[in-house]
Chain A
Amino acid sequence: CKENCTGNINLIKDVQHFTEHIKISELPQEVESALPFHVEPRNIVDDDPQERVSAEAAILNSRVHYYGRLTGSSDRLLSPPNHVIPGPEEIYVYSPLGTAFKVSGTDHTSRNPSIITIFAIWNTMMGTSILSIPWGIKQAGFTLGILILIFTGLLMLYCCYIVLKSRKAIPYVDTSDWEFPDVCRYYFGKFGQWSSLFFSMVSLIGAMVVYWVLMSNFLFNTGQFIYNYAHNVNMSYSEFGTNGSDKVICPYPNTDPEGNSTISTLYIGNSGNDTDVNSFEHWWSKTNTVPLYLIILLLPLLCFRSASFFARFTFLGTISVVYLITLVTIKAVHLGFHLEFHWFDTTQFYVPEFRLFFPQLTGVLTLAFFIHNCIITLMKSNRHQENNVRDLSVAYLLVGLTYLYVGVLIFAAFPSPPLFKDCIEPNFLDNFPSSDVMVFVARTFLLFQMITVYPLLGYLVRVQMMGQIFGSHYPSFFHVLSLNILIVGAGVLMAKFYPNIGSIIRFSGATCGLALVFVFPALVHMISLKRQGMLRWPSALFHSFLIVLGMANLLAQFFM
């Protein structure tokens, strides 16, 4: 019946065309009601009796309809070429419901002005690594940290620039819908395709694990705040921190073996009812139970077939970052600056300006400035393509300034005399107690934002992995469910046993940065220059040095 039914519909359509084209001014009522839909003749744009459809347009329409029946829908053999189609100002779109409107004369792909592109890049790059920048600066030393941030930013900007250029340098092939993994496949064959996929997965799954740890953290703190607020529990004496209204705490103080033990750790028991609080702590633990509660919420979300619903919430990310910047500013104003410059020696409260742990900062920054696997797609919608390099540089500058601002302010405002600079946590929000209202709001924002981004990341992982291995984006519910269980399991295990997001970020950043930021772009650039015969030895030296830097970055993560 299916065959017959479509055939019949086509027959009706053909009859409809026939009656339209031959000569119609009005049809008798009974015939009108029998037709599937009836378009009033010709002039339905305004009341002018003059026909608006020109003879050429009518015959072109007839040809396009007819030729369209002669080939498959994807076959372009008989599609009208551009010089045959009238200009956009002459085209009207007729709807069967009896209206006509003009096609707006814009390009097929919507193009954005520079400012939107810059904002999109900034928004995409701003991730949770912003929480780890103060810790990274602390690990590298204040001065060295700032220098490294600027240097790494410039280096990654250059690598991003050569990624962007790489697609254009491929001759004779239509690369208009290629992304960087496709470029790798062109130069390195299957190996290039699979390895760029693998490293891309590393960055995505690394991000998802970090998200799980952070979500458990924020959920825990939010629950803690609400419980304490409801039960009027005062936790201030159980934590080691400053006194006063803007409390900053040191969650894991290690007694300095060299220094005086004048500051003793204060672990005063809770003033509240012991058994109540203890049972709450038993059921609401940051590492034991909260990560598991998240499974109930997030595993179903991961199994959705399409992620477009979650893409609507990207604005939450922007709000969170803006709120974090405001929070940091206010805290810095209240706490004041506490900076002392000890260049190479270790003191009790401060860290040296130059430290040997600086690779940890470079690892974090490699993930913080990472956008190389989607920069081509983001730049495609830029209205003035000749400004791509300028817009990219401005975006990197803004991102660098944001990170620098947050990092420097938190580091500088960290109240060092009672506390140690070494206390700055990989997630700087951990340095504020769960009773702090402003930080509670920040945690809640970030929690919501991460809950909406997590399924998006899961969707990206699923699409790329399932697409490459099984050929379809959703092979079956069980395939997708097993993948999701693996990812969620990794997150839960990390949250339970090793919730140090600084380490997770720096290892995954250095790994995926090795391939997608340093090695592949440099190699691709050198090979394309060589093929054009334009490879000079300073350029070759510099790009080889980039590759060495990338490898050193990864190796140093294991040793420092």
Chain B
Amino acid sequence: MKTIIHQLCVTSYLYDELIIPSTPSKADVLLMGKSGSGKTSMRSIIFANYIARDTRRLGATIDVEHSHVRFLGNLVLNLWDCGGQDTFMENYFTSQRDNIFRNVEVLIYVFDVESRELEKDMHYYQSCLEAILQNSPDAKVFCLVHKMDLVQEDQRDLIFKEREEDLKRLSRPLACTCFRTSIWDETLYKAWSSIVYQLIPNVQQLETNLRNFAQIIEADEVLLFERATFLVISHYQCKEQRDAHRFEKISNIIKQFKLSCSKLAASFQSMEVRNSNFAAFIDVFTSNTYVMVIMSDPSIPSAATLINIRNARKHFEKLERVDGPKHSLHMRMR
């Protein structure tokens, strides 16, 4: 299979474009930043990837191969170390530049807040932006100022504001959205949730429909998760909830559960949790999302809720297909 596609690819390279209408095309999400800025940890935490110690010892993230992390259906995550000391990586990066930056949907650039070489970081960021302008001018740009837990609490807002101003200024004419993040507080989860929220096509319509759905089935709370990362895309709640961190906690728990399932070569599909006070249902929803429904009336039988969810699924899938992927139909393999 692989060799056939490789041959197709070679011929397609010669013809420069090969249109294959039926397969959904993939686009890249580039996660870039200086080596040591925290990209591998970030990817591991968001996508529940196990980090083997040996690969880290190599120093730079040698992520030349096609990453297998896929989310939102057709987006593929690629990590690149930008501006490292390794001359091999530098040369490879420069020579493959056009290939890397073509067909990019999202660029997420990670800055280490503790970095001592601000000038150099900005310089590399700018060169990436240039490449984006040339090759994928429609890409969305996000900047993450990472490792904020190392900054003293009273100085965090100040430092972040400074960086944000600089970055917005440097990014013109592209518009970049900045977040401050740290793996040790809720900012990472919230930042990635915002990013994913902006990538969902027609997300407002999705939210309205979600609210209607929740009201119809008389649920306490309904959450919509992205399938791969369990980042909360949208939610509806009919009354105030006590725990502000509940989304991240649920995400962590499900991702741990998925890790355990994968050890048995099983995949997680659905879960029902019930006690005398509530019943919670987690199930596959559309091709990109999971839904979690929380009913506080335990007298409603599970079957009823499950049927409701199944019916809603059909409706939401239609919504997704109508506004299909906006990307051009190019297939790229590395």
B161: Cβ under 8 A from any A Cβ: no
Indicate if the CB atoms of A18 and B277 lie closer than 8 Å: no
Once A17-B253, A69-B259 are accepted as A-B contacts, the answer to whether A58 and B41 lie under 8 Å apart by CB is no
Q: Quick one: which of B50, B245, B271, B278 contacts A70, CB cutoff 8 A?
A: B50
Q: Are A55 and B243 also in contact (CB < 8 A) when A4-B264, A27-B275, A69-B259 are?
A: yes
Is A23 within 8 A of B278, CB to CB? yes
Interface residues on B, range: 35 or more
Inside 8 A of B271's CB, which chain A residues have their CB?
A: 18
Is the C-beta of A472 less than 8 angstroms from some C-beta in chain B? Answer: no
* Number of residue pairs A-B, CB distance < 8 angstroms: 110
Q: Which residues of chain B from 226 to 274 have any CB-CB distance to chain A below 8 Å in the complex?
A: 243-246, 248-250, 252-253, 255-257, 259-261, 263-264, 271, 273
Mark the stretch among A6-14, A166-174, A336-344, A505-513 that contacts chain B: A6-14
Q: At the interface, yes or no: B60 with Cβ under 8 Å from chain A?
A: no
A84 → B minimal CB distance (Å): 5
User: How far is B77's CA from A537's CA once the two chains are assembled, in angstroms?
Assistant: 64
Q: Which of B51-59, B118-126, B168-176, B192-200 lines the interface with chain A? A: B51-59
Give the docked Cα–Cα distance between A14 and B257 (Å). Answer: 6
Report if A21 contacts B (CB, 8 A): yes
Give complex CA distance A84, B41 in Å: 17
Known contacts A55-B245, A77-B56, A81-B149; A7 and B260 CB within 8 A of each other? yes
Tell whether, in the assembled complex, residue B149 and residue A7 are in contact, meaning their CB atoms are under 8 Å apart: no
Residue interface mask A1-39, B partner, CB < 8 A = 1: 001101110110011011101111111100100000000
Does B260 contact A10, Cβ atoms closer than 8 Å?
yes
The reply on B45 being an interface residue by CB < 8 A is yes
Residue of A nearest to B251 (CB): A66
Complex-state Cα separation, A15 to B254, whole angstroms: 9
Query: Does the CB pair B52–A31 fall under 8 Å?
Result: no
Chain B nearest CB, measured from A463 CB (Å):
27
Interface residues of A, dominant DSSP: helix
* A15 contact set on B, CB distance < 8 A: 257
Contact assessment for A62 and B253 in the assembled complex, using a CB-CB cutoff below 8 Å = yes
Chain B residue nearest to A72 in the complex (CB): B53
A21 vs B255: C-alpha distance when bound (angstroms): 14
Contact, CB under 8 Å: A19 / B273: yes
In the complex, which residues of chain A have a beta carbon less than 8 angstroms from the beta carbon of B53? Answer: 71-72, 74-75, 77
CB-CB under 8 A from A77, the residues of chain B are: 41, 51, 53, 56
Chain B residues at the A interface, C-beta cutoff of 8 Å: 41, 44-45, 48-53, 56, 149-150, 183-184, 186, 243-246, 248-250, 252-253, 255-257, 259-261, 263-264, 271, 273, 275-278, 280
A14-B257, A70-B50, A80-B184 are known contacts; what are 19 more A-B pairs with Cβ within 8 Å?
Answer: A11-B257, A14-B256, A17-B253, A19-B273, A21-B249, A23-B277, A26-B276, A27-B276, A65-B256, A67-B183, A69-B50, A70-B44, A70-B45, A70-B49, A70-B259, A71-B50, A75-B53, A77-B51, A77-B53
